Structure 1
Amino acid sequence: MNKCIRVPIQYAEKVRIELAESGRLDLKRKIKLIDINQRFLEIPVTEDIEGFETILQEDAEFYNKWQSLEDILRDKISPDELKKLPSGWQIIGDIIVVTIDPTIDHLKLMIAEALLKMYPSCNTVVRDLGICGQFRLPKREVLIGNNTETINKEHGCLFKLDVTKVMFSKGNLHEKKLMSNIGNDETIVDMFAGIGYFTIPMAVHAKPEKIIAIEINPQSYGYLKENIALNKVEHIVEARNGDCAELTPKGVADRVLMGYVNTTHHYLDSGIAALKPEGGIIHYHETTPESLIFSRPVERIENAALKAGKKVEILDCRKIKKYSPGVWHVVVDARIC
């Protein structure tokens, strides 16, 4: 499917760069100028982009003869198999991560070879088989290549990771960019830091006074430490390895990031306690049934604040992406005082 977004021409180059850095710019297709009462650039993308309406591009123009995965494999597989080919994948550094329907398992190597034809700058193809365990570790099968460690560039930041050991989501680039613009001269606690998804952009761009980044998964923590050094923000970020319930400091933060989902509400007491006595802002992430957007996360924040003897002002509520059928990943920004 030839997905694209339409961006007013004065903003298009900035958006194009961000999409290229996050690996979501479709490099096979050309950017087109569209004039519909206003001049737009139609930018080809590999997936839906938050903050934009994603549409199907008509009369797409391609840079090379390989227009799509279907075009490469059309004469090699059956029509039924053709319909089951993956319609999207992630490019992380020089690694392609793809989900393949189990019913066409026998085609996995053929699919991997075709993807490398489409992306000659990549050298490894990895099949995504879901996530498992407390640390939400990726289950992945290497199809072609032997190097699963890479460096991904995104929004002017470098993220080193092993795609078979830690997760890397490109679906919340807008939220990362938003966080990178706030926190100047503040003390920030990032309670679920991972490899530095929010910590690194904030440290690089917002220049806070200090970030205390906490991560329980030893492997993610190892890459967090490497990424702090890679981005030269050791003077800003203090990394801690362990459980947020035990390692979150009290009474020091102007701002607290709670960027985990599923069980984040269990840590709200710790997040609120981390704020300075005069208060501060919490960015609270949660996976919420569609019927409870945004009532459940707001209610949980209000209850936790009440328990701590604090007041709440809801500053913003945002949808990040669809997490599963009927469930949304959302963020609530709240001032606690």
Structure 2
Amino acid sequence: MRAVIVSREEAEKVRQKLLFEGALDKTRRLVKKSGLIEIPVKESFAKEGLTLVEQEEPRFYIPKKTPGDYLDILDIPDSERELLPAGWQILGDIIIVSLHEKLENQKAEIGKALLSLYPGCRTVLLDRGISGQMRQPEREVIAGRSTETIHIENGCSFKIDAMKLMYSKGNLAERKRMSGLGEGETVVDMFAGIGYFSIPMAVHSKPKKIFAIEINPVASGYLKENIKLNRVEDVIEPVEGDCAVVTPHGIADRVIMGYLDAHEYLKHGIRALSPGGIIHYHEAVPEAIERRPVERISAEAEKQGRDAKIINMRRIKKYSPGVWHVVVDARVD
């Protein structure tokens, strides 16, 4: 079985790149050997510049189990066992799970079962969706106590209270993409949250300056903590307030608009750009009118006497039936 062999210092960077490219073999563990690290890759992988070896002693992950494996002692009818969740989210040491309403009376037992699956986790939250303009989660502790955690992703640390704030792991590829942009630039991150885009960009790309704007005081508090946690105080300037009021004008080489219902703020995002700057505009849009974000950017740029050139439009993930989370990259002259 094949593996890429690298130094310990290079290991995480190479692993993240292989993961992003779909070349990482997720069934095997990394192996430390003679001061080097063997990173398992798929058999079809071949790339110049990396040293490939045949692993003598591959180490495999234990196959993933389900709550059903730990619920045999419970009095749950077979018809309800079929309603058990097929998956859940792990954020730091917190498990977040959604349950069918018919299983609500078994939530405490299911929470304990999930903690049995993951000894490194300490709390299980029952997720009931999101509400409000600030997309606040509706959650309940069903096992454990503490809801604050530190989640590690792409070489960055994110402190968050999972009871009060959202963290979408479905946006991982986009966050990784953005972490490779912005070197030497002035960036405005509107709707910055806890630093979902600002932190990876500051850690990996070294922009000149990032103005990270967030109106939610809870999220803003964690944004400030995460800036210190990742030691990027010299790069990120947190700004607490409404993007319609505090977004600066004409200074940005790049603007990030990561909130999915931000079309009313688009004028402020474009106004923040210096000539030739790039905007990354996110929107939840029905398939039938998927070009709507492109049309909105072009129309708003024209209102301001500017010209928008669309660079790219990508689907990030399914938002709801018939609706996609998309992001449009555009250069505005």
TM-score by length of structure 2 reads 0.83
| Counterpart secondary structure, 1:113 | helix
Give the corresponding residue for 2:206: 207
| Counterpart secondary structure, 2:207 | coil
Deviation at 1:68?
Answer: 2.1
Separation of aligned partners in 1, 2:110 and 2:41: 32
Q: Aligned letter for 2:280?
A: H
Deviation at 1:129?
Answer: 1.1
Deviation at 1:136?
Answer: 1.1
Separation of aligned partners in 2, 1:285 and 1:234: 26
Does the 8 Å CA contact 2:4/2:41 hold for their aligned counterparts? no
Q: Aligned letter for 2:123?
A: T
Pair 1:310–1:141, CA change in 2 (3 A): same
| Counterpart secondary structure, 1:229 | helix
Q: How does 1:209-288 map to 2 (within 5 A)?
A: 209-262=208-261, 264-276=262-274, 278-288=275-285
| Counterpart secondary structure, 2:238 | strand
Runs of 5+ consecutive residues of structure 1 not aligned to the other structure: 1-7, 22-27, 41-60
The answer to whether the aligner puts 1:70 opposite 2:74 as a matched pair is no
Give the corresponding residue for 1:335: 331
Match of 2:319 among 320, 323, 327: 323
Separation of aligned partners in 1, 2:13 and 2:156: 16
Deviation at 1:63?
Answer: 2.4
Separation of aligned partners in 2, 1:18 and 1:110: 36
The answer to whether the aligner puts 1:292 opposite 2:289 as a matched pair is yes
Match of 1:314 among 310, 313, 319: 310
Deviation at 1:225?
Answer: 0.4
Q: Aligned letter for 1:87?
A: A
Runs of 4+ off more than 3 Å: 8-11, 13-19, 28-35
Give the corresponding residue for 1:179: 178
Does the 8 Å CA contact 1:287/1:328 hold for their aligned counterparts? yes
The answer to whether the aligner puts 1:110 opposite 2:106 as a matched pair is no
Does the 8 Å CA contact 1:30/1:63 hold for their aligned counterparts? no
Query: Which stretch has the larger CA shift, 311-320 or 74-83?
Result: 74-83
Identity %: 53
The answer to whether the aligner puts 1:303 opposite 2:299 as a matched pair is yes
Pair 1:83–1:14, CA change in 2 (3 A): farther
- 1:32-90 deviation line (CA, Å, top 9, x unaligned): 9875xx369xxxxxxxxxxxxxxxxxxxx8627x8322222245322111110011111
Deviation at 1:279?
Answer: 2.8
Separation of aligned partners in 2, 1:34 and 1:227: 35
| Counterpart secondary structure, 1:279 | strand
Does the 8 Å CA contact 2:66/2:86 hold for their aligned counterparts? no
Q: Quick check: which has more Rg, 1 or 2?
A: 2
Does the 8 Å CA contact 1:18/1:154 hold for their aligned counterparts? no
- 1:206-256 deviation line (CA, Å, top 9, x unaligned): 000000000010000000000001000000111111100000000100000
Does the 8 Å CA contact 1:213/1:237 hold for their aligned counterparts? yes
Separation of aligned partners in 2, 1:147 and 1:16: 34
Separation of aligned partners in 2, 1:230 and 1:271: 28
Q: Aligned letter for 1:285?
A: H
Does the 8 Å CA contact 2:256/2:279 hold for their aligned counterparts? yes
Does the 8 Å CA contact 1:187/1:211 hold for their aligned counterparts? yes
| Counterpart secondary structure, 2:169 | coil
Does the 8 Å CA contact 1:320/1:328 hold for their aligned counterparts? yes
Separation of aligned partners in 2, 1:67 and 1:253: 48
Does the 8 Å CA contact 1:74/1:82 hold for their aligned counterparts? no
Deviation at 1:271?
Answer: 0.5
RMSD across aligned C-alpha pairs, in angstroms? 2.5
Deviation at 1:102?
Answer: 1.0
- 1:171-226 deviation line (CA, Å, top 9, x unaligned): 11100010000100000000110000000000000000000000010000000000
Give the corresponding residue for 2:143: 144
Give the corresponding residue for 1:128: 127
| Counterpart secondary structure, 1:171 | helix
Does the 8 Å CA contact 1:188/1:208 hold for their aligned counterparts? yes
TM-score by length of structure 1 reads 0.82
Does the 8 Å CA contact 2:255/2:269 hold for their aligned counterparts? yes
Separation of aligned partners in 2, 1:211 and 1:311: 24
